[in-house]
Amino acid sequence: MAQILKFYDERHQYTLDGEEIPSVSEISRFASREIYGDITQYTLDNACKRGSAVHKYTETLDKYGECEASEDIIPYMTAYIQFRKDYGISDYEAIEKSLASRTMKYAGTLDRVGLIDGKRAILDIKTSAAVQNPLAMIQLNGYKKLWEENNPDKPIEILYILHLKGDSKYKLLSFEMDDTLFMACYTLHQALAKKKRNFRKETIC
């Protein structure tokens, strides 16, 4: 049975067959709070704007072979172009691909899926000042589960974060394929969601 997945960018919300479901980012919020603590909203907003812009421009570049980027984004694009040259990447299997799990009822958008050094990889693009390894591992393994449920004949062999930097350099970081932390966050999310549903029922009654 075909599933209808919709993504509403303005509120970063997914629905599957009309039912709202959590994103990988929402599920990983338990780890995000522990890692980022009391970071200011100003810092978060600036990082989000930069990240969104880089994702937009890299997507345009990958799909159409060229793009025009604002001056503040050019160093990140330079780093991305150098990464593609270094690893001989001319195409991907998936670019900014939104997927949902019908069995687990969550969704996410995978930045890239394709062959890197001959192995099918999930590649997540980051532009933050630093990569938080536990959070990256949670997100990547959540994406892996989404991809493999929807593409059972195309298993993922390696997980990568591509860290693009403001000095026009990059780092390609590999992560272990282990969904323990993701499933812990997923279990917490499900437990709290159930508690909220039960509370609403009790309030109505």
Q: Tell me: the pLDDT tens digits for 10-43?
A: 778 999 999 999 999 999 988 877 776 555 554 5
Mean per-residue pLDDT of the chain: 90
167-185: average pLDDT: 97
pLDDT value at residue 38: 55
Q: Encoding tokens for residue 73?
A: 């984004």
Q: How far is CA 184 from CA 61, 104, 150, 197, in A?
A: 36, 13, 22, 20
**pLDDT attached to residue 36:** 63
Average confidence (pLDDT) over 66-92: 96
pTM over 0.85: yes
Region of poorest pLDDT, from 8-17, 111-120, 154-163: 8-17
204 vs 160: which has the higher pLDDT: 160
Q: Is the pLDDT of residue 68 over 70?
A: yes
The pLDDT, as a whole number, for residue 193 is 86
- C-alpha–C-alpha distance, residues 141 and 147, integer Å: 10
Residue 199 has pLDDT above 50, yes or no: no
Q: Which residue has the tokens 């780890």?
A: 31
The conformational region for residue 172 under phi > 0 = left, psi -120 to 50 = alpha, else beta, is beta
Give yes or no for residue 205 having a pLDDT over 50.
no
Res. 198: pLDDT tops 60: no
- As a whole-number percent, the residues of the chain with pLDDT over 70 amount to 87
Question: Is residue 96 a contact partner of residue 62, using CB atoms and an 8 Å limit?
Answer: no
Q: How far apart are CA 130 and CA 69, in angstroms?
A: 23
Assess contact for 69 and 77: CB atoms under 8 A.
yes
